[in-house]
Structure 1
């Protein structure tokens, strides 16, 4: 990453998803938004649907998904917003979602996530935050790779967090089996995994025309941002021509972020999240866990 070639756009932290999407025509394009019933997920899906995209809300709670879909249809005039069950902690659920998908997929937004939870584990014994924020989405994206490659210009958008600055991956104890559980460190580690995944996925899939980027959506309360503002960078990466062809990058406030300066404010991307060796190792570890 060269600081002199960072991508900038006309949009800022105050821009809304609707403003980013203004004037764009996504008719005929298909999008999946995980966690589509969450506030930011709804605004992401709303902006894409308003531009004409065929949107699927991938949700654990299908009743909440139905309410979200109805709200989006009512406010955008979209003919349909689809709902599909997806539990990112359940390998069978992720596999079923990917197997059921028919045709091309132009936009995959990894919006679902959990944050600083009490110690909880999946049936496999995986730490919950790592399982949801990284492993489930990793399985989803790799399972949908064929549909993404079919478009010749698909985009994968990974909603991460500046919390990745706090914690590199501990490959010796990813699931806190030997060290004391720390919800903050566990969350930060899962978000580091997001950035590493984006870089490695782009390296592997660029020849298929697939771009993969990560973003920090920002705190909607502490920074007095609305969900529609928090969704702006997601839809920018999913559909805007301002980032056409960009991949393996980290964005904040609708612009590519520079490298983080140690001791500085929580801005930018940490060097440990850009380590190509760690990214390649994480990819293999993830495959091994999901196929064990």
Structure 2
């Protein structure tokens, strides 16, 4: 299986990536689209003519972004729906209300390196937000994705996944000291594994899923990590929000990814598998694309959601 390469790269913007793509008559959902790369991903999808739904916790903020997207793209079919990924009832309400075929689901919403916090179900906050909520959303929308006949799921992961595999016996830090970066890494590994296993499980429905690293982009995501002044990433590696949304837009729309799934992309191209932390923003850990790990995570996710009722 050869790696997928594209004409796009580090400096490409979401607008450039979708130029010439026509998704008129198709539908897309983008989580966490009230700001940051989620908003720009939604804008790019709207520019293709797709009907775009912004799935957000803050509906008022989402409606402001939706209005701005309509103004900049001319697409009148941009709407907002409430979604709280840490609340299983909210996810169920969203998936139950959705009645149309769905062409693109972008699992974009996320939190990073936040202080120790747990949901009502006892789930660690980052694992719940970045993975479990999106898992419940995607599986709840499977019928809608299958109805499209050629649907795509896009998972926004991070090079942070190289910080931790899934710690199977203690995903919720019940027995080990909480570490915000290990929790973040585990949750982002989970996103990549979801893409691997969803592609395998849903092949009969022509649903593919791919994961990505958007790049270093300063948005609200960094509110717990010091933001732009933290010095974690060299200035020359920082992307604009429009550039940060490019790889998501590519995975959602590019003909070059037709039928391709279970892969991990950086700077609009598939990246290499690594067996040690790469020390760069490139590379995907072997454990994050291991099919056995994907199956194991799927079973664990179903078990946790079933217990939650």
Tell me the TM-score normalised to structure 1 length. Answer: 0.97
Q: Structure 2 residue aligned with 1:26, among 16, 23, 26?
A: 23
Determine the C-alpha separation between the residues in 2 that align with 1:202 and 1:220: 28
Question: 1:69 offset after TM fit, Å?
Answer: 0.5
Tell me which moved more, 20-29 or 253-262: 253-262
Determine the C-alpha separation between the residues in 1 that align with 2:245 and 2:6: 15
> Would you say 1:129 and 2:126 are equivalent positions?
yes
CA RMSD, Structure 1 to Structure 2 (Å)? 1.0
Matches within 5 A, 1:58-207: 58-207=55-204
> Would you say 1:224 and 2:238 are equivalent positions?
yes
Native 8 Å contact 2:22 2:49 kept in 1:
yes
Equivalent in the alignment of 1:245: 259
Determine the C-alpha separation between the residues in 2 that align with 1:109 and 1:81: 15
Question: 1:265 offset after TM fit, Å?
Answer: 2.6
Native 8 Å contact 2:39 2:65 kept in 1:
yes
Equivalent in the alignment of 1:234: 248
Question: 1:103 offset after TM fit, Å?
Answer: 1.6
Equivalent in the alignment of 1:10: 7
Equivalent in the alignment of 1:280: 295
Gaps of 5+ in 1: none
Secondary structure, aligned partner of 1:247? coil
Secondary structure, aligned partner of 1:69? helix
Q: Which runs of 4+ in 1 moved over 6 A?
A: none
Secondary structure, aligned partner of 2:86? coil
**Alpha-carbon distance change, 290 to 261 in structure 1, aligned in 2, over 3 angstroms:** closer
Tell me which moved more, 101-110 or 262-271: 262-271
Question: 1:263 offset after TM fit, Å?
Answer: 5.3
User: Residues 193-249 of structure 1, C-alpha deviation per residue, up to 9 Å, x if partnerless?
Assistant: 011111011000011000000000111144221111111110111111011111000
Number of residue pairs aligned between Structure 1 and Structure 2: 289
Question: 1:80 offset after TM fit, Å?
Answer: 2.7
> Would you say 1:254 and 2:251 are equivalent positions?
no
**Alpha-carbon distance change, 270 to 78 in structure 1, aligned in 2, over 3 angstroms:** same
Native 8 Å contact 2:127 2:186 kept in 1:
yes
**Alpha-carbon distance change, 49 to 120 in structure 1, aligned in 2, over 3 angstroms:** same
Native 8 Å contact 2:162 2:277 kept in 1:
no
Equivalent in the alignment of 2:230: none
Question: 1:261 offset after TM fit, Å?
Answer: 5.1
Gaps of 5+ in 2: 219-232
Matches within 5 A, 1:266-277: 266=280, 267-277=282-292
**Alpha-carbon distance change, 143 to 122 in structure 1, aligned in 2, over 3 angstroms:** same
Question: 1:50 offset after TM fit, Å?
Answer: 1.1
Determine the C-alpha separation between the residues in 1 that align with 2:114 and 2:277: 26
Tell me which moved more, 263-272 or 253-262: 263-272
Native 8 Å contact 2:215 2:238 kept in 1:
no
Determine the C-alpha separation between the residues in 1 that align with 2:39 and 2:291: 33
Question: 1:278 offset after TM fit, Å?
Answer: 1.6
